[in-house]
Amino acid sequence: MIPYFVLDQIVLGPVKIYTWGLFVGLGFSAGYLLFYYLAKKESLAPAKIAGPALAIFAGALLGAKVLAVAQLPGGLFKNINLIFSQHSGAMFLGGLIGAILFGWGYVRIIMKGDKIPPNPPFLKGGAGGVNFWHIADLLVLPICLGIGIGRIGCILINDHQGALTNLPWGILWPDGTLRHPVGIYESLVGFGLLATFWWARKRIFYSSSEPRSGGGVEKSNDKVLDSALLRSNNKSGQLFLLFLLSYSAIRFFLEIFIMKDEYDIIIIGAGPAGLSCAIELSKKSAMTVLLLEKKSEIGPKICAGGLTLKIKDLGLSLEIADQLFSSIQVYAADKMIMNIINDASPFIGTIDRGRLGQFLLGQVSDKVTVVKGCAASQIGKDFIVAGGKKIKYKYLVGADGSASLVRSFLGLKNRKFLISVLYSIPKEYKNLELYFDAQLFGSGYGLVFPHLGHTFVGCCQDARFPRKIELLESLKQWLERRKINVDGIKPESWIINFDYRGFDFGNIFLVGDAGGFASGFTGEGIYFGLVSGREVARKIIDPKYNCEEILEILRIKHYHEITLNLTSFLVRMTGPFSNFLYKFLLSFGKNKWVSRKLIKYYIM
């Protein structure tokens, strides 16, 4: 197998050379030198036909890029800045149209009155003996050479993701899949056509004993092939047309080895919600599914990583967690008020998001196409654009987190969200702890969540009711009081969207944080993401499915938001006395009956 690699630029001091552009330039230069050689060898004045040849080359390059960009959402004018981008692609049909228009225009307009007659390319040469088709025939070999060299640039940036294969020369992509090396195939096609048409040009199309069609040189040296010495007038341009037919047929065949550009279902985002949706679809549906993840690896994310016993409803066990806890220590203004204990067994755990992602990914069958390191850049009503490629869908699932592109496409702004800040410290604490301090966090809280080998310490706050002090400054004050050293450790911050405004929008669905399914009070999102992802998959499979489990998590969310809003109101009303209120309310948790109810309503 071929290892995956990307060499998108060569850096020489302050100079950056982009490899795709470099090899396109090398292909163009090599093609032009070959054209010059062929024209000179065939007794044609290279300087005389260099103009139309360059026009054809330029038209082909520009036309291929323009048509590719015109296919993007918004059309050509909205994306005109992408014409010279290596990621905007190129279309053969556009190159063909551009080559003909530029070549004909040059001969018709620029060379008007010259010895080469200003005929359209569809007419044979006159007194000057050379027309567009003569030049087009001469360009076949240079074009093939240019394709072969130019596609090396595509190989180096790996911008053509092939279909899955088990052949030994497949490329091993970062997602662990073996895929056809489409860039290599296309480069070999260019060099193969070069060899084929070099042979065909000498053996089939040209003769050394027939007169030139239309004047000029009356007799050619036997050792010199003259592009005007064709077996008949009617054969002028047939080499070029044969090339067009051959290359078009080969390109059509190569589509078999290229990743599909149409799927029944596209899932954007491979977090817990997206993976849960993919798992259910892979088990119970024959529809084609594409799972896109913008990161190069599925799973890793800065997250407190809390799991509760609720995951048993999904057929999972809390044993998948890295750390298990039978209690939560709850503090008010640095004083421990209660210890929520479940006498029976552990009821909460923490798990590394990378490990959780890999665990869930292992349950996704091979029927789902998983693509990593590829971000969706645009959304349409029946397509997305990812990696510069337009991909159609019947159903789209937005599992792309709180800053969801799919949610934005639907016109839904995040009005309710939590702001979370975490430090990962290289120390493993023993207890899971929550800290309520209204002067620092308002109706939010500080947290200590132990993991294997490290601990997340941080805070969470309702963004609708910011404090006078910046959240990061509040966190630093709390950490100093707790004597937790975070020197040299970079904090990570993100938002948790709990602004649910629906999940079913026709053929587009929102799950997880993209749909606002997280708890506004606890910030818990993993369980709600897993449930919403699975339920949406069932809804796609059976449009009549009523999504009862989503209704249940919405009920839980409702209770949590009532608690959040009530807490926020009381904190604002009591002002400087709010911490006394916290101590008073939390003291009821010392009662075992109250403790069990808290576990039931907010954790289990």
The torsion of the CA quartet 35, 212, 99, 249, rounded to 10 degrees, works out to -90
What pLDDT shows up at residue 124? 40
Nearest to 385 by CA among 70, 31, 45, 37: 70
Structural domain count of the chain = 2
H helices present in 42-131, as ranges: 46-70, 75-78, 92-105
Q: How far is the C-alpha of 408 from the C-alpha of 4, rounded, in Å?
A: 33
Same-domain check for residues 368 and 503: yes
In angstroms, rounded to a whole number, what is the distance separating the alpha carbons of residues 476 and 164?
Answer: 50
**Per-residue pLDDT at 272:** 95
**Using only C-alpha atoms, what is the Rg of the chain?**
33
| Structural domain that includes position 456 | 262-602
In this structure, the answer to whether residues 448 and 496 fall within a common structural domain is yes
- Strand bridging mode 289-293 / 368-372: parallel
Provide the residue count of the chain: 604
The domain that holds 280 is classified in CATH as: 3.50.50.60
Q: Final residue of a domain: which of 234, 257, 280?
A: 257
Write out residues in the chain with pLDDT < 50, as ranges: 113, 115-129, 207-234
- At 48 the pLDDT is 67
Rounded Cα distance between 337 and 330, Å, is 6
Q: Which of 216, 231, 257 finishes a domain? A: 257
3-state SS class at 379: strand
Same domain, 451 and 328: yes
With beta carbons less than 8 A apart as the criterion, state whether 145 and 171 touch: no
Other beta carbons within 10 angstroms of residue 377's beta carbon come to 16
Indicate if 199 and 287 belong to the same structural domain: no
Residues 203 and 229 in one domain: yes
List pLDDT tens digits, range 240-261: 888 888 988 898 888 778 766 7
253 & 266 share domain:
no
Same domain, 212 and 237: yes
Q: Are residues 314 and 193 in the same domain?
A: no
Give the residue from 212, 229, 257 where a domain finishes.
257
Looking at the fold, whether 269 and 223 belong to one and the same domain comes out as no
- Say if residue 282 is in the same domain as residue 144: no
pTM of the model: 0.66
Together in a domain, 436 and 385: yes
User: How far is the CA of 52 from the CAs of 31, 58, 109, in angstroms?
Assistant: 14, 10, 11
Q: Which helix (H) or strand (E) holds 458?
A: strand 454-462
For residues 130 and 76, state if they share a domain: yes
- CA–CA distance, 550 with 276 (Å, rounded to integer): 14
Q: State residue 45's pLDDT score.
A: 66
